[in-house]
Chain A
Amino acid sequence: MATTEERPIGFGRMKRKEDARFIRGQGNYVDDVQLPGMLHGAILRSPVAHARIVSIDTSAALQHPKVHAVITGKDLEGLNLAWMPTLSYDTQAVLATDKVRFQGQEVAFVIADDRYSARDALELIDVEYDTLPAVVNARKALDADAPVIRDDKENQTDNHIFDWESGDRAATDEVFARADVVVEQDMLYPRSHPAPMETCGAVADMDKVSGKLTLWCTTQAPHAHRTVYALVAGLPEHKIRVISPDIGGGFGNKVPVYPGYVCAVVGSIVTGKPVKWMEDRSENLMSTGFARDYVMKGGIAATREGKITGIRVDVIADHGAFNATAQPTKYPAGFFHVFTGSYDIEAAHCKVTGVYTNKAPGGVAYACSFRVTEAVYLVERMVDCLADELGIDPAELRLRNLLRPDQFPYECKTGWVYDSGDYERTLRKAMEIIGYEQLRREQAELRGRGELMGIGVGFFTEAVGAGPRKHMDILGLGMNDGAELRIHPTGKAQLSLSVQTQGQGHETTFAQIVAEELGIPPEDIDVVHGDTDTTPYGLGTYGSRSTPVSGAATALAARKARDKARIVASAMLEVAPDDLEWEKGRWFVKGDPEKGATIQEIAMAAHGVIELPAGVEGGLDAETVYDPPNLTFPFGAYICVVDVDPDTAKVKVRRFVAVDDCGTRINPMIIEGQVHGGLTDGVGMALMELIAFDEDGNCLGGSLMDYLIPTALECPDWETDHTVTPSPHHPIGAKGIGESATVGSPPTIVNAIVDALKPYGVRHIDMPCTPSRVWDAMQGKAAPPQ
């Protein structure tokens, strides 16, 4: 069975099966759903960050000839739906009743004949607000005189949400006390936004006769959403069908349940008609799940020779007005405690304090791998600060401290068990590709001429594939995923998945996993996903978990089918199962390779009339639910070259080399694409993207004119390569790649910028490194963005 590079029966470069519809404009996104009699909803939002609602007058809006209904928080109170639970066991207002707590918060929902009329009617709603002082700066949220944002909650007398610690504080303090060198650095990972090209939206259709709700929704986790609706709205779960059709990018933005979805559902129940709600771009940027917003005080301890001995950090985590982050229950700061990074460190400690502010809720999004972005940014910036202090080259300092291959599996000081790694090989490969020594010589020459060129080195280890159910759940739902494989009589197959693609190419890569295991060509395997009525239960696609969890489920289901095929083949060939040997696509008789049966022949026989051993059922179908024994730990070495214009302080990314190790590689083309996208996120965060607020809590990043996203002109031609260190516990050795580059690239770029500014004595600049902020740093006036 020949495998070519372009047409693999299994792993290898293969064009995407899903492209056929997208290149023809035949994708089916939520806003493309048109139902007979469908109405359109629009949300009235708060113009202010913090205010008491005095009154809401909807009478004029209701007079609008095309308006069918106006729903307010008071109406929802009657249904016990004014508040909903968040994925962090907090509550969030669906429509505000008592107060508004961030600019852009949902206040009323209008349902009209068409989207223009719905928007018109928003103008007719009269809301009187009694404005309150806003808490904007997370550093001041716990001040004694700070206004209490969540006075709706019993016993909540301040803006404190949680304190969470990991590691050993006493041991870390001791290591710091006896260290030759200690470097402290304050840094901010500022608030950014995933801003997928498709905004969030839903079409709700409640069938009054059957009592069944069908909800087309921009969700990365259709099954989890179904359960949440069952719990929130009290609808029986079998009467809810969530369809997540084609999704125009997710990046974590489409994990939470948003008030707009609930409003669409209520709207359909109230009007008896399908209701579509699609937010506009400002609504997306101002109200849906933002990312990051970590105020960090870092410290790193080392010997004079550059052996890192300790790392510590105190964090104030700005969670906005409602604690609505999505992460495993046990970990309110996500996986931030993987902040010891890729290094062999004696002691580590972190403390994270979550606070409420008058800003939109969220925090875990934008390909962050549950806050691994923040962790890697911290450790990689701290290592560079240490290199600066010690006068050691940053690549050399990393080489002295990277974990060695013989240390794996490695338990870090905060308890993670890294599965596998060969870090030095990966870093040396990146240095070789970019020509590290030569670049340093060029830099010295350019500095002599007053030109500012910087070389940034970054190394990251991710923790992805959540996760083992004994440790990881969301709202009590264990983070497992199912796969169901049907093998038809003619040897074609259908694979149903609990995870959902937002562009990752599941319809191709998951078919390739089955192909690798069974020898059925990927084009003969249809991958079904994104519909809770037709797919098995599971928690969805985020945190780079699809391949680590669902990929494993798929491989194991295929292996079950293969084992079953062996029994059928033994009946066909009239030999004992133990006398059969597998080669990709067929079972054959040991010592007589001519005598065998292909998987297609076996499939037909399995559905046919051949007599099977007692207790063996017909067919080859198989299903599995996968509970990962551990996370997987992808890693990579990134090196970036920037040029900074000394007159304008504009940063240009000249080159970027990314050497990734995601274990076994299913489809190198798709992996490269995922890496490219993440590197571009890094350019955005490092140089451009910022959701800022003024002192009154007005959002200053509420449109794509203010929230700047990289275009083709800001990005270099990415240079990618790889090493392969398979995960020892994953059935196919794959580790996940979706967020690696988003995690690894921001500190690499900032390291390069700081390196370029060495002649100015700059040790740190907070992102985004816009020309004005870099200019300020060059003048010794660097300040964190507000």
Chain B
Amino acid sequence: MQVTVSINDQEYTRDVEPRMLLVHFLRDELGLTGTHWGCDTSNCGTCVVLMDGEPVKSCTLLAATAAGHEIKTVEGLEVDGVLDPVQQGFTEMHGLQCGFCTPGMMLTARALLDRNPNPTEEEIREAISGQICRCTGYATIVRSVRWAAEHPAAPAPSSEEVTA
């Protein structure tokens, strides 16, 4: 079947099997491999993307279901060469190690800050509680999101530029 999905403000049309999961649509059909796959059972959250601004697990959503919705992936966080404060926060506060859960964590953080610009530690922990990180122990992720909350506009230039 033909599916058209809007991803990071761009429309993509592909002919796919009706059963194709959104995560595989993103990764295999579009090459947007920043969204990861980790468990099949909606437990790990490495596949989290935003659908109309809300975090969803793209391993339990059909690509066809996403048609007509706005999907945002990690690739859409940086705009015109300017990092999202969440991205900056994760590197400032060491919110990542292996990087596998990071895209999903950052997108959930973005959604949280959009509805609650100044979340408490408890609110951040609650927001990311559907996602698993095996490396960080979460404290630095909490600090990363707090950093983003405290630097909401264009992030201040850091002492070491993070460049591609």
Which residues of A approach B to under 8 Å, CB–CB? 4, 6-7, 14-16, 18-29, 31-32, 34, 114-116, 194-199, 246-249, 251, 280-282, 502-505, 523, 669-670, 672-674, 676-681, 703-705, 709, 711-713, 715, 717-718
Contacts and interface: CB of A to CB of B under 8 A. Distances in A.
Contact of B97 (A282, A673, A681): A673
Interface stretch (B28-36, B50-58, B63-71, B110-118): B28-36
Nearest to A675: B137
A19 to B, nearest CB: 4
B139 interface: yes
Contacts of A14: 160
Contact of A677 (B121, B125, B137): B137
Contacts of A247: 98
Given A25-B33, A31-B37, A15 B92 contact: yes
Contact of A718 (B28, B77, B126, B139): B139
A661 B126 CA distance: 33
Given A676-B140, A705-B41, A7 B160 contact: yes
Contact of B126 (A31, A670, A713, A717): A713
Contacts of A19: 90-91, 96, 99, 162
Interface string B109-152: 00000000000010011101111111111111110000000000
Contacts of B131: 711
Given A197-B134, A715-B138, A249 B100 contact: yes
B160 A6 contact: yes
A155 B94 CA distance: 54
B43 interface: yes
B10 interface: no
B36 A29 contact: yes
B153 to A, nearest CB: 18
10 contacts: A7-B159, A23-B88, A23-B106, A25-B73, A29-B36, A248-B46, A673-B94, A703-B39, A703-B43, A711-B131
Nearest to B88: A23
Given A16-B94, A25-B34, 5 more contacts: A6-B159, A15-B92, A24-B77, A198-B100, A718-B137
B78 interface: yes
B134 A709 contact: yes
A26 B91 contact: no
A502 B98 contact: yes
Contacts of B103: 25
A115 B24 contact: yes
Interface in B4-38: 17, 19-20, 24, 27-28, 31-38
Contact of B137 (A115, A282, A715): A715
B160 A15 contact: yes
A116 B94 contact: no
A197 B38 contact: yes
B8 to A, nearest CB: 11
A9 to B, nearest CB: 12
Interface in B77-103: 77-78, 83, 87-88, 90-92, 94, 96-103
Contact of A23 (B24, B101, B162): B162
B97 A704 contact: no
A197 B41 contact: no
A712 B129 contact: yes
Given A502-B98, A503-B97, A505-B97, A673 B132 contact: no
B154 to A, nearest CB: 16
A677 B75 CA distance: 26
Contacts of A24: 34, 74-75, 77-78, 87, 164
A676 B134 contact: no
Contacts of B94: 15-16, 669-670, 672-673
A681 B73 CA distance: 29
A22 B163 contact: no
A378 to B, nearest CB: 25
Contacts of A713: 125-126, 129
A413 to B, nearest CB: 35
B2 interface: no
A704 B99 contact: no
Contacts of A715: 137-139
Contacts of A503: 96-99, 135
Contact of B134 (A195, A669, A717): A195
A500 to B, nearest CB: 12
Closest CB pairs A-B (n = 6): A25-B34, A503-B98, A248-B100, A22-B99, A676-B137, A25-B74
A249 B135 contact: yes
B129 to A, nearest CB: 5
Contacts of B91: 15-16, 19-20, 23
B62 interface: no
A14 B164 CA distance: 17
A703 B20 CA distance: 21
Chain A CB count within 10 A is highest, among B28, B96, B102, B139, for: B139
Contacts of A114: 28
Contacts of A4: 159
Contacts of A246: 98-99
A679 B138 CA distance: 11
B106 A249 contact: no
A83 to B, nearest CB: 30
B160 A21 contact: no
Contacts of A672: 94, 140
Contacts of B40: 280-282, 703
A713 B125 CA distance: 6
Nearest to B132: A709
Contacts of A523: 160
A24 B86 CA distance: 11
A472 B138 CA distance: 36
Contact of B41 (A21, A678, A703, A718): A703
B142 A20 contact: no
A734 to B, nearest CB: 19
